[in-house]
Amino acid sequence: MKNIFYYLTLIFGMLMLSSCVPNQDENGDFLHGVDFDPTTTIPGDGTTTSRLLKTMITHSKDEDTGEFDDSNIVFGYDSKNKLISYSEVGSPEKFNIEYNSSNKISRVYAGTELNAVYEYSGSNVSKITTTITGFSTSVTNYTFSGSKMVKSVTITTVTFPFPTKVYMEDTYEYSGENIVKDISKIGAYDPDTGVLIMEPNPVTAVYEYDNKKSPFGLLPKEFWIFFSSLAPQTGFFLSQNNTTKATITEQDGTVKTQTSVNTYDSENYLIKATSGDEYNIYGYQ
The CATH number covering residue 84 comes to 2.40.160.150
When mean pLDDT is compared across 25-34, 82-91, 241-250, 262-271, the lowest value belongs to: 25-34
Length of the chain: 285
Contact assessment for residue 242 and residue 270, using Cβ atoms and an 8 Å cutoff: yes
Alpha-carbon distance of 212 to 242, in angstroms, equals: 6
Average pLDDT, the chain: 82
Q: 49 falls in which pLDDT band (50, 70, 90)?
A: low
Global pTM value:
0.82
How much is the average pLDDT of 133-154? 94
Residues 6+ apart with CB under 8 A from 174: 148, 150, 180
- Overall number of domains in the chain: 1
Angle separating helix axes 2-16 and 221-228, nearest 10 degrees:
110
Q: How many CB atoms lie within 10 A of CB 131?
A: 17
Contact assessment for residue 153 and residue 168, using Cβ atoms and an 8 Å cutoff: yes
Range of the domain at 242: 2-284
